Structure 1
Amino acid sequence: MGTKFGANPLICLVFAEGSKMTALYDRDYGQWAETMADLLAQGRFAELDITNLVEEVSDLSNRDRDQLLNSLRLIVHHLIAIVEGFRGAFEPERYTGVGCDRGGVPC
């Protein structure tokens, strides 16, 4: 009865394992991620670092969304550049104007 979790040694063991996993997460993320994958594959759910695992899964979805949005922005940017390039090819007067004439040589 000397622990904050009562006399159940299993609960104490799970808490201790969780503490070790949190320390591993802080110390070596790569090793932590491999350990979490191994524990999941083996069905050893009681040993998982649930707090950090939930945070990482949430961050993963945010990173995927951000990466998708950045890719879409880049595609739109390139499409606009392509359209502007075609306009320039067919509307040369649009790109000539004051200060463009260099000694009788048009731009």
Structure 2
Amino acid sequence: MLSYIDKYIWSIEKYKSNGNFQDIGYLMLYSFALAFDVTGREEYKKVALEAANSLFASLKEGNYLICNWLENGESYAGVDSFMNIGLWIWAYDQTREPKYISAVTR
């Protein structure tokens, strides 16, 4: 089963720090973070934490995430942005680093 997971999970690893891709948190929470929770394999945790950190580059005041695909650099906190919060909560649970929970609660 693990080789089956590896075959597919690594195909989305390239999105972990892609600022043009709005669903980073959603993808990484339900792939690498969950795979770490199930298997305990550190390489999955590393990718999920890298993805959680990459979200900070898109964070604006008021917890809005930059949506690069909107015209004129508009930003909003839509459902896609809220899906990223789960990855920050997971990252906080793993590391206890306050920056993750602060991003969720401000």
TM (normalized to structure 2)?
0.31
Which structure has more strand as a fraction of its residues? Answer: 2
TM (normalized to structure 1)?
0.30
Per chain length, whose mean CA-contact separation is higher, i.e. which structure has more relative contact order (CA < 8 Å, sep 6+)? 2
| Structure ID, larger Rg | 1
